[in-house]
Amino acid sequence: MKARVHVMLKNGVLDPQGEAVRHALGALGFDGVSGVRQGKVIELDLADGTTEATVKEMCEKLLANTVIESYTIELS
């Protein structure tokens, strides 16, 4: 089984990389992009039967820093 973890900076935490991408899109002529937030996707190959609770523990302990980041988990 697989899990896909999306990690994003929390709302309210400045994302200078997202801002730089937003500026670059504007420079390319894409009007109307009012905000860009950049995060990361972490794909995990897991033993069958791994619970969402275990993946959540991985997120809390290592994959995300919950001081600045939020995360969502997709299992498939």
Partner 1 sequence: MKAAVIVFPGSNCDRDLKRAFEQAGLGVEMVWHKDTSLPKVDIVGIPGGFSFGDYLRCGAIAAQSPICREVVAHTERGGYAFGVCNGFQVLTETGILPGALLRNANLKYICRTVGLKVETTESVFTKGYGLGDEIGVPIAHHDGNYFADEATLDALEGENRVAFRYTDNPNGSARDIAGILSSNRRVLGMMPHPERAAESAHGNEDGARLFAHLTEVLSDA
Give me the residues that bind partner 1 (CB under 8 A), please: 9, 13-14, 16-17, 20, 61-63, 65, 67-68
Q: CA–CA separation, 46 vs 70, rounded Å?
A: 22
- In the complex with partner 1, the residue whose CB is nearer, 48 or 61, is 61
**H or E stretch covering 64:** none
- Decide: helix, strand or coil at residue 46: coil
Nearer to partner 1, 47 or 62 (CB): 62
* Measured distance CA(19)–CA(22) in Å, rounded: 5
Nearer to partner 1, 46 or 69 (CB): 69
Tell the smallest beta-carbon distance from residue 53 to partner 1 (Å): 19
